[in-house]
Amino acid sequence: MIRYHMVITGKVQGVGFRFFVLYTASPFNLTGYVKNLSNGDVEIEAQGNPNNLMKFLSKVISGNNFSVITDYSIKEIPIINDEKKFNITY
């Protein structure tokens, strides 16, 4: 089990990106959250199997049909025990 904190930069707000991330996390059985930041970026914390996380990250940084990813950062952070699902946080 591993957990990553990510910040996605670009045209990622107002284009359905959080819902895209939520639905992308589901088949990989990940837990965590996605939320808009006040500066226009999107923050993601995702936790799960390392293989599944890498597949998830690959899809997320490709974006959906409406987003444009210009940059991203990823760092490993401590896991959160007993987290049950992946949510959109406001």
Q: Given the residues 3, 18, 51, 87, select the one marked as catalytic.
A: 18
Contact in structure between 43 and 50 (CB atoms under 8 Å): no
Return d(Cα 62, Cα 80) in angstroms, integer.
Answer: 26
**Would residue 3 show up in a list of annotated catalytic residues for this protein?**
no
Edge-to-edge strand list for the sheet holding 68-77:
68-77, 2-11, 42-48, 31-36, 86-88
Structure tokens at 24: 């992308």
Q: Given the residues 29, 36, 49, 65, select the one marked as catalytic.
A: 36
**Would residue 18 show up in a list of annotated catalytic residues for this protein?**
yes
- Give the catalytic positions in this structure: 18, 36
